Amino acid sequence: MRALYDRLKQLFPLGEPTWQRPDLAFVTVPAEFLRPALLHLRDREGYTHLVLLTAVDWIEDEQFQLTYLLSNRTQARDIGLRAMIPRDAATMASIHELWPTAATYQRELREMFGIDFPGSPRIEEDFILEGWNDIPPYRRDFDTLKYAEENYSQRPGRETHDPATHMKQQLHPDGR
């Protein structure tokens, strides 16, 4: 993996790598170099399989982290490319021409995180949620409990009782 990192370092400005396992590493790539890096890995280094494309919401840094996990089947190695994009009006270049499966991930990211991928097929359509009327639910500033309480009727009787406190009240009701 280190040899691959050194080769990539010659070509692209890379950030600090994370050596997760002997066969798995993550490197940060500036968002504008992501597409050439992916192309290089796919066509020259044999990382032909896009395992997943996912996002992390770093709300404190006002950034989204996009993780493109690629796999090299013959060498049984994985590399993850991380790209940081600004959180407000988040937009990223679509990679659906490199891997058609990416279009599905991008639809999901648009719906769940609100990250736009212009030009990706069917990106405007509803993916999982139908008729969603709030901010994208995987964003960390979305309060899922508050939304659930406001939108769904709850059955009463959900409060829990700590057994120790309960037994204390049962055995010593006057608080002694």
Q: How many amino acids of this chain bind other proteins (CB under 8 A)? A: 21
Query: Tokens 């790209």 belong to which residue?
Result: 83
Looking at the Cβ atoms of 128 and 167, the one nearer to other proteins is 128
State the CB neighbour count (10 A cutoff) for residue 1: 18
Q: How far is the CB of 158 from other proteins (least distance, A)?
A: 6
88 or 130, CB closer to other proteins? 130
Q: Identify the CA nearest to 100 among candidates 120, 78, 118.
A: 120
Residue 155 binds to other proteins (criterion: CB under 8 A): yes
Using CB under 8 A as the binding rule, whether residue 144 contacts other proteins is answered as yes
Contacts of other proteins in 112-141 (CB under 8 A): 126, 128-134, 137
CA 58 to chain centre: 10
Measure the CA–CA gap between 173 and 175, rounded to whole angstroms: 5
Query: Counting contacts by CB under 8 A, is residue 161 touching other proteins?
Result: no
Q: How many CB atoms lie within 10 A of CB 151?
A: 9
Of 18, 44, 147, 167, the residue at the interface with other proteins (CB under 8 A) is 147
Q: Which two tokens stand for residue 12?
A: 């692209």
Please, are residues 24 and 78 in contact by the beta-carbon 8 Å criterion? yes
Whose Cβ is closer to other proteins: residue 55's or residue 81's? 55
Binding site for other proteins (CB under 8 A): 126, 128-134, 137, 142, 144-145, 147-148, 151-155, 157-158
